[in-house]
Structure 1
Amino acid sequence: MTVITETGPNIAVFCGARPGVHPDHLAFAHAFGRELALRGSGLVYGAGGVGVMGAVAQGVSDGGGAITGVVPSALRERERSDDPLGTIHVVATMHERKALMYRLATGFAVLPGGIGTLDEVMEVLTWNQLGLMAKPVVVVNHEGFFDPLLNLLDHLVTQGFLARHERALIQTADAADDACDRLCLRAPVVAAA
């Protein structure tokens, strides 16, 4: 098994431990994970074996990519982290989880998820806004899932609570290949026929 190093590229994917109501969320997450692996990127994730999170990890695994999961001990059973893919770090708190994920990642992709996903993306956006780090953040807006969030961010700009250059820190992509391009991952090598 390939082991993730802090030199990357390693993409942290924020997403749900639930599957959502549309089966396409899982299929897209799997395809996104596979695209990461094909481009030579490792995955940093929350170590959940279910939902969108599990599908991304399975896609990376199927593509032969390196996987590192980070899970607080309290969530290990809840997110079925007893048999997760990859190298797993068990930490004490959510704060430790996020700090380690942020350190290991060279960029961040956001796929469908709930409050935890929103918490994670808002925190990395804040860190970028404050200059605490400078890593790409891409909201993968497959089938318009994040339209309400993106509209809210635009509203913050028009209301004077977010500068345009700060809003530009939040990139969007509709497809896996576009998201990987925006995360500065090299295109996969295609063998000549």
Structure 2
Amino acid sequence: MGPLDARQARSRTGGPSFPLGNRLARVVWQACWLVLARWTPPPLHRWRVLLLRLFGARVGRGCRVHASVQVWLPAQLELGDNVLIGPGAILYNQGRIAIGNDSVVSQRAHLCASTHDVEDPDFQLVVRPIALGERCWVAAEAFVGPGVTMGDGAVLAARGALFDDADPWTVYRGNPATALKPRALRAGAA
């Protein structure tokens, strides 16, 4: 279910970027999320997680996914245990997005797992998976770009934009994000 060849599909001039089966699956998914989840009150995380699983997402135990979250295609999503996806977060997972245990994607953060080949005259869509390790934090309104891997414990500060891999246990900020300082958990932290 990867992207179509842009030249044959004429994607740049209005043709589809994905096969019909993918597009139909997304229409059904978006309709179900709108009708069955989008309006639900905050405490109904288990219900929303169940819907994600029914559409192919791999979701660990204890995850919290808010009703206003946008997931492009659940089958391309993997959440470890105790992951929090905050209000208004966008998981634009044309490519796979995997988020490790105990990680947080805060409100209105945006993870984008695709881009285009800027040297291709047909602007071919290119999917590039995103991977967040365990105990990562993508803070409010931050952006994680295509193909990025955040090592365990990495943090991207509010409104930061990360286009390259993040080292483990390091705090990043800015646009483009640069390393600010090492991250260390206080003694006794679980």
**Fold conserved between structures, TM > 0.5:** no
Structure showing the higher strand proportion among its residues: 2
The TM-score, its normalising length taken from structure 1, stands at: 0.23
Tell me the TM-score normalised to structure 2 length: 0.24
**Structure with the largest fraction of helix:** 1
Structure whose alpha-carbon radius of gyration is higher: 2
Higher relative contact order structure (alpha carbons within 8 Å, sequence separation ≥ 6)? 1
